[in-house]
Structure formats: C-alpha cells, structure tokens
Chain A
C-alpha cells in the first residue's frame, strides 16, 4: 500500500486496528533488550511453538517494553471483548499453564498482575478492550489505574510502548500514528514553530534549551540546505530508557522528525544511534523502510510538495559523541572532538549547514504537541518545565523500570510510590540524577522534584532522565571514583584541563581509597575542580568534577572514614 493523499491514512488505520484487535486472542510479549536479557525470546518461541503445535489460533506479538522491567518477561493476553491481562515474571515452565488458559480463553487467576478494561490514549482517545458487560472472573485483578507503579505515571511519550509491534507500522497508525503529520502538513510551518514555542517544550537531552527557539533560529538561518539530527547517543552509565523507547515505538520519533523537517524546511535528517544498540538500530531501520514504502518519507509525502529523507548513522562507542559538535564530527566521518561554540549548529552545523539537533525524546514530543495543541501540553508540568519526562529508574530500588511522570513530580513519589521504596528494605542514602554529569543528592530530598531548574539549583541536573538510587551500603567515595574514572576514560583529549586534570583527580581518589589520603587530598580535589570546569570546551569537561564536588559536599563523612591523618 502507498498513501498518496492525506485521506488515505484512514485506510491504514483500519488495517492497524485489525492487527490490534484480532478475532483470535492476541498475546503481547515484551521483547526490548531489557526483556530479552531476562529470557523473553525463549518465552516467545516456546509459546508460539506450543500454540501452533496444539492448533490454537492466536496472534503472538513481539512488542516493546511495558516499563514493568522489575517483573520481566511480561506476557499480556487479550481475548476479544475481554479486559487485557498482564502476567509478570513468566518463565518457560509457566508456558504449558498459559497455553491451557489460552485454549480455554481463561485466566491464570493467581498470576495475573493487572487488567486493562479501557485506555485513555493521548492521541486516539478512548480505547475499550472489555465489552460493556463486565466479566466477574476479572474482578479480583487490580485495574490498570489502581496499580501503584502506574498510579502517578502519565503516558504521553510511552503511549504505545509495550502495546504495539514496533516493526509493524500499521499498529502505530492504528493507535493514531501519523495523524499529527497529516495535521501538520495542512498547517503553515511558522504556525507549527509558534506552537512548539508556546508549548514550553525544552530539550530532553540535558541542556533544557527551549526547543521552539532552536527550531526558529535554524529556520531563520541563511541557506536552503538544512539538516535535522536525532541524538540517540545515550552513553551515560545508568540510563537506558532511550534504547527501550526506540525499541518500543520507533515511529513516534520518526513522525516527530518528519514534522520538524516540514516546519524548519530541512530535507534530510540524520539519526545517530550509538553502537551496541543493535536491536534499536534494527527496529528503527525497519521503521524508516516501512515509512518509505508507505509514502510517509521520500518525495511528495502524502501528495504534498514536501520531500524528506532519513539516514541512520551508527556511532562508535564514545561518550563524548553525545555532545552536539562532537556528534556532528562523528557523522561527518571525523573523530568526535567537540569544537568551540559559537557558531552554534543551528547556524553552522552538519556539513557547515544550519542543523537542528534534538534528543530522541524531544522529537517524540512533537506529534503530541501538534495533535493536542500547545495549551494542553503546557498545562502539564510546572512553571519552568512543561510536559512529561521519561525516566529510567535503576539502582537499589524495589521496582526498577522505565517510567514517565509529569514534570514537577516529587522525587519522593518516584522512589517510594512508583519505585516501591529501596530494595531489600534498606534506607535511602543518595539519588543520582542526570547520569555521571549530574550530582549526587543526599537522602533529604523532600522538596526536590523533576524539574530542570529545581534540580539545577540543588546542584544536580535533570540530564536525559536517568535516576540511580543508592542504598545505605553505598560507599560514596567509590561512587565518586567510579564516575571520575569513567570521565578520565571518555575524555576525548582535546583540552588539557580535562585530559590531564581528571586523570589527576582519579589518582587522588585512588590514593584516598588505598588509605594514603590526607586532608590535603580533599583540598586538592576541591581546588582542581574549578579550573577543569572553567577551562574545558565542552560539557564533558565542564561537568566531570561534579560527582566529586557533590559527594564532598554531601558525604564528606564517607571521605573522612578513609583519612587517618
């Protein structure tokens, strides 16, 4: 099928609905990298084989990550007209039981974790799974909105994650996908940019620069040839949600890019995916191919005069390539060394042409803003930070996972309600937000919430949204050493303060941990931090001493334990 005009989308949507609501049972199995690590592929294969050999008609679908990473592999069973039921921690030994249940169109009552009767989808609105007559057999299973893990979450970006087959474009369209593109193509590009500015969307990669202003500046830059870049160079330790997201809903990012291309007047987008993200790379490549075949990419998109092309680049495993100028160098086929700004990439970027670089999550916000309008979007969140944020919750927490909360959600709620508290009943010692460049916050976090400015004032940063929870057993000196060592290895070596300074800091920490430390060591660490931060060209050097400074500030006691003299 090829969509030749905007109205053709309805046809594709119909086809998508047939995939999403088949007449046979539909079984969704999460197959993101996180799920695969826990054996999801074995479950998938055994289940498909089992069903086939017993002649039971059912659609087994490999979906993305549901966010329930703490009880993967997850299997979701949906019978026509019945609530969708989620089962967690399914192993191969559970499969016979599951097959029996599916054959009878029955439940496994004591294994069911939650049920979905209906869903309020952010774009396509009300989705009903259950018939109006409620089946009493399902009554004991908690409803979607009652589960503690989901209660405080708001799924805007992750609206499709875990519900659709990421390699099937029709399922994305079936859930309202590419509607925003159709709407955007009938809008004036300047109006789109105004909408993005009005929405208050800020860059999700860490900097928090207003996205609309970046677009405007790129559009106004001289020259006809312009580029977009989608940054998926997630290299920070402790952050994995962009991978899971891209593996679960690649088309959401693609749609955002196409709209961006139309609004800014760019012809080509480069999607930079870091190395080692093979599943994400594979699924995104498939998404781009499918979009080309359907006429959503290429020349004369949906019968308009708009042409757009997407190219995928695989990175080379260097953390510094997440920095925008280093990323550009990498795409151009040079080594990833950042350069001085200005000129900013919006004026002089890829191949010296105006370039708009946004993070993968920022792009995924665009279709929602177009569909729902800027005033709806800016009603979520608080004063300075709008919308929702996807967070990868990891570390010593009872329920690690990929979550999405409105901006302004207190850290306390995330840790104790969504995350279910600290693992093994231990006490919270510290929270680290924003990857290694962010600081380590002490357990006294009552007034801190997910917000660019609040976190910045607290001495940390939102970054791209990683959150690592550390329990009472954590040695903060070792944590500081771990991050400093990471930066020492990842420094590209262009600026001397960063290349040499961080190695020296690492050495001082080595000595402290080995028991040779003195108060002078702590002073030296403190004194070295300032010049490194002041004299490095890019954010890597500018933030490398943050872990040391913040641990020195909040956890000096841990350092003093090592110091005898």
Chain B
C-alpha cells in the first residue's frame, strides 16, 4: 500500500484526526491512519484540511457507539487551537518547574485558561490535573473564565487608596460592576504609586483624568 502524503492541517483538524484514530484499537491504527487520511483528503479535494472536513467524515462513515464518543471528545478539545498548547509545551518542557510558564503562555494566547487546555497540559506533561488546578486557583493571575472585551484593574495599593479623594476607583468599579464587556478587578499594588490613583485599562496604566477619557472610549 502506498503511503498517503500528509495534508496541510488547518486549525484543530490535526488534533481531531488524532482523537478519531485514538478510538481505533492500537494494532489496526497504522492501516486506519492511511485509509482515513485519504478519505479526509478526498473530502477536502486534496486541499487544506479544516475542522469541518474531519467532522463531516466522522459523521458520515464512523459507526455508533464510536461516533458519539469521538464527537464528545471533539468538544473536549475546546474552541481554541490545541496546536498552540503543543507548541508552548515544546518550548517550555514538560517538567513541573515549567508549568507556571506554560500556563502564563497559554493565558497570553487564549486570554484565559479553558478547562480543556488544563486537561491537555495535564496529560501532555504527565502532571495530575488536580495539581494543575491547584496552581491555577492559587495564583490570582490565572483566569478560568473567558474574559470580557476589556479588562480594568483597579490598584488597591496604599497610595492609591489614600490619594483617591475624588473616589474615581469606586466610580469606575460601580460603573462597570454589571457590565459583561468589561472585567473589573482590584489588584495588588500596580507599582505606579506616584500616579495614584492608578487604574490599568487593557494593560496600560492610566491616572486621574486620563482614566475618565479612556473610559469614554471603551463605551
């Protein structure tokens, strides 16, 4: 049997394909790998393979109960590009001392830490999920929920609490407390004590009237 050349995988398609193969008994995997790949490539007209192509193949040719299992596992891959995680782990290594860096990198890429990503990190680094979860919930910087469009961090440092006579911190907090588009949090001292009261909006620290001007542009 001739080897089928690897197609170009787009998005999560590669991870989906591997998940699909994972359901095949190990002994038969090499044969199935070739067969399924050529089916998928036919579906994609020998072009780039996308998530939709793999999904369609599963829907059409895989029998039950494998089909439901695979589709369920597809959901666990999450709605982000799982390849990012592979790449980050390759860069940072699989030892536990790299775990914080891995989590930071994932959060930088995806914006938060979806549970699917934690699961992937746990299995790829061989660190128990409970340990990963322990870390993520201990350190305040990690977020388990998808953040809103904007993030406002209100400095809760001494100087900011002391100098905020006009009450801009409470004003901002109350204004966005119920907003879905804006995440608001009080944080450790931002280290900009001379500009107290300091408020960080989308990664940039603002102070005094600059806060008000910036906030108007958010709405």
Interface residues of A (CB under 8 A from B): 33-34, 36-39, 69-70, 72, 234-240, 242-244, 274-278, 313-319, 330-336, 351, 392-396, 400-402, 432, 436, 466, 468, 470, 474, 479, 482-483, 486, 492
Contacts and interface: CB of A to CB of B under 8 A. Distances in A.
B148 interface: no
B190 interface: yes
B38 interface: no
11 contacts: A237-B157, A238-B159, A275-B139, A276-B141, A276-B200, A317-B140, A318-B138, A333-B97, A333-B99, A392-B193, A395-B158
Contact of B188 (A242, A317, A351): A317
Contacts of B100: 313-316, 330-331, 333
A479 B161 CA distance: 9
Contacts of B204: 36-37
Contacts of B63: none
Contacts of A316: 100, 135, 138-142
A432 B158 contact: yes
Interface in B197-214: 198, 200, 203-207, 210
A34 B97 contact: no
Contacts of B141: 275-276, 315-317
Contact of A332 (B97, B134, B188, B206): B97
Contacts of B140: 316-318
Given A351-B97, A400-B196, 17 more contacts: A33-B205, A37-B198, A37-B204, A37-B206, A37-B210, A237-B189, A240-B192, A275-B139, A276-B188, A278-B203, A330-B100, A334-B135, A394-B194, A395-B163, A400-B193, A466-B193, A482-B161
Contacts of A317: 139-141, 187-188
Most buried by A among B98, B135, B157: B157
Interface of B: 95-101, 104, 134-135, 138-142, 153, 156-163, 187-196, 198, 200, 203-207, 210
A486 B96 contact: no
B189 A468 contact: no
A205 to B, nearest CB: 15
B159 A395 contact: yes
A34 B207 CA distance: 9
Contacts of A392: 193-194
Contacts of A334: 96, 135
Contacts of A33: 190-192, 205
A369 B140 CA distance: 38
Contacts of B189: 234-240
B138 A237 contact: no
Contact of B191 (A277, A335, A396, A436): A277
A334 B188 CA distance: 21
Contact of B162 (A240, A278, A474): A474
Nearest to A42: B210
A317 B188 CA distance: 7
Contact of B193 (A238, A277, A479): A238
Contact of A395 (B97, B134, B162, B191): B162
Pairs A-B, 7 closest by C-beta atoms: A316-B139, A69-B194, A240-B191, A394-B193, A238-B158, A237-B157, A394-B159
B108 to A, nearest CB: 10
Contacts of B99: 333
A242 B161 CA distance: 20
A127 B97 CA distance: 45
Given A275-B141, A316-B141, A37 B195 contact: yes
Contacts of A72: 194-195
Contacts of A314: 100-101, 104
Given A38-B207, A316-B139, A395-B163, A401 B194 contact: yes
Given A316-B142, A333-B135, A235 B188 contact: yes
A34 B188 contact: no
B156 A237 contact: yes
Nearest to A399: B194
B89 to A, nearest CB: 13
Given A37-B205, A278-B203, A436 B193 contact: no
Nearest to A350: B97
A250 to B, nearest CB: 15
Contacts of B153: 276
A153 to B, nearest CB: 15
A291 B196 CA distance: 35
B146 to A, nearest CB: 19
A237 B154 CA distance: 12
Nearest to B210: A39
Contacts of A396: 162-163
A432 B159 CA distance: 10
A394 B196 contact: yes
Most buried by A among B158, B190, B196, B207: B158
